[in-house]
Structure 1
């Protein structure tokens, strides 16, 4: 019996619950950091810097832990595709936050599992159960509520930010489908993350000359927000997440992820003073219930 086998857990314990609550809170707070960093830096520059800084740190972690990254395993081209989609996702998120609120952005992006559900049904042959279909319909009802909510609109151009946020969620889902449908599914988590970070920084870099002024109101707060995202959220919490995924059942962990949009919506209202209407909370509830239905494992028959 290996050490890895001994470390495995058959169920979610108290330690995992506490860590997942901390992770989802940090991921929700990441949205606040993204909004704050937009005040000091151009969204295109932010996308490049966030990925480049995090890639350097993750590479250092892999070098220290002797995790192989460059062996030939047939993952190069799908890895490049995943990295391009990852870059497009965060570029859309950062640009979208220039137009819409964090709450609306978060709810749109976190519709991702339902795009994965649709894509897996039609592209990967993973049949959709009635329970998952019900979750999908609830989630789309939540998205429709966000679009119909006028009280939380920050301005007349918010629709463009909402659409970019929705497209970011689709890119996130497409990244997941590329991973699930190619040899990337057998790659290490660290290699997957490096593909996404390194490629996204490289492919977004040529857009910088066309993005307008690179610097806005550069102060300590936007800079700290950028470093929080790159160093803590991406380079640290993602590694913790991968550790949890190896140690605990994946189905139990993913059920916690619906807390991320909940924390982000609340933090947007508390820390950024964004308007939160009853429709936003109803949308959050619909999307949250939908996520639970989609992530809930099917019961085995005796």
Structure 2
């Protein structure tokens, strides 16, 4: 696998496709929630995705290495992953895709703030500080937008924000613990395996497990399983080829596309004010993730 110094057209197309898939998956989760209880859906997705991951490892000859050596941080990774999707799936059950996505994909903002105090070499530069200010202003503006408020609830918005914090915790766990030394497949196994157990166990606490699922909901579940397993592995494949900063620069696309999908497919209210807030968040995320070349 040839390592490249910059993003090329093939890599850019792959990242745009990946961002669009993640954005569309937000719509799929919301639609699928009509047939399954949100937490049960997240757990069932993890169960099926673990099976798909093991099949992938069997067919590709890849191994789940280092599971015992990184057991503690691996379990933490799985618990944080479980929390992330308890928050996100319930958020999408209670608020619009547009509002949930802009809050959930604000994760780089909170990760940058935390990393400034915990990770060496991650001090805030003036450019990144400007990105933080713009992105946070965009989040506040989005929450205050009256047009989009009719499609969501404050409780759902808060859950989406909590999901972003859990996601940031996953990133920090990978950076700060021995779980970074194991393979990508092993990291994913910890996340899917632990969440399959945790989410399924706690799902009865969140209401009915089934909400009369139909063919559309089962199809949505299948799509989510593929995204949860193969989508993550595809992203790691790109990370192995292209610079991490170039990959991160595309992260603004997911909330932008999610808002578009929510408006086009679910008829969610999106006014000019909300689009302005989204633009601030997108620009802020680009400034936060951009790295100087040396």
Among residues 226, 231, 243, which one is paired with 1:237 in the alignment?
231
In the superposition, relative to structure 1, how do residues 69 and 159 fare at CA in structure 2: closer, same or farther (>3 Å)?
Answer: same
Counterpart contact for 2:38–2:90, Cα < 8 Å:
yes
Among residues 259, 282, 292, which one is paired with 1:288 in the alignment?
282
In the superposition, relative to structure 1, how do residues 299 and 104 fare at CA in structure 2: closer, same or farther (>3 Å)?
Answer: same
In the superposition, relative to structure 1, how do residues 72 and 48 fare at CA in structure 2: closer, same or farther (>3 Å)?
Answer: closer
Tell me by how many angstroms 1:205 deviates.
Answer: 2.0
Q: Tell me the distance in 2 between the aligned counterparts of 1:279 and 1:225.
A: 31
Q: Tell me the distance in 2 between the aligned counterparts of 1:79 and 1:178.
A: 9
In the superposition, relative to structure 1, how do residues 238 and 72 fare at CA in structure 2: closer, same or farther (>3 Å)?
Answer: closer
Unaligned runs of 5+ in 1: none
Among residues 161, 171, 193, which one is paired with 1:176 in the alignment?
171
Counterpart contact for 1:101–1:154, Cα < 8 Å:
no
Among residues 267, 271, 285, which one is paired with 2:265 in the alignment?
271
Tell me by how many angstroms 1:208 deviates.
Answer: 2.4
Correspondence 1:250 to 2:251: no
Among residues 8, 14, 18, which one is paired with 2:9 in the alignment?
14
The runs of at least 4 aligned residues of structure 1 exceeding 6 Å deviation read none
Q: Tell me the distance in 1 between the aligned counterparts of 2:208 and 2:194.
A: 23
Unaligned runs of 5+ in 2: none
Match of 1:196 in 2: 191
Q: Tell me the distance in 1 between the aligned counterparts of 2:36 and 2:138.
A: 31
Counterpart contact for 2:67–2:186, Cα < 8 Å:
no
Among residues 83, 86, 95, which one is paired with 2:90 in the alignment?
95
Q: Tell me the distance in 2 between the aligned counterparts of 1:47 and 1:32.
A: 14
Among residues 141, 144, 148, which one is paired with 1:148 in the alignment?
144
Which has the higher mean CA deviation after the structures are superposed, 73-82 or 189-198?
Answer: 73-82
Match of 1:210 in 2: 205
In the superposition, relative to structure 1, how do residues 194 and 72 fare at CA in structure 2: closer, same or farther (>3 Å)?
Answer: closer
Q: Tell me the distance in 1 between the aligned counterparts of 2:9 and 2:27.
A: 28
Q: Tell me the distance in 2 between the aligned counterparts of 1:65 and 1:208.
A: 33
The 5-angstrom pairing of residues 54-133 of structure 1 reads: 54-71=49-66, 74-125=69-120, 126-133=122-129
Q: Tell me the distance in 1 between the aligned counterparts of 2:67 and 2:249.
A: 34
Correspondence 1:138 to 2:134: yes
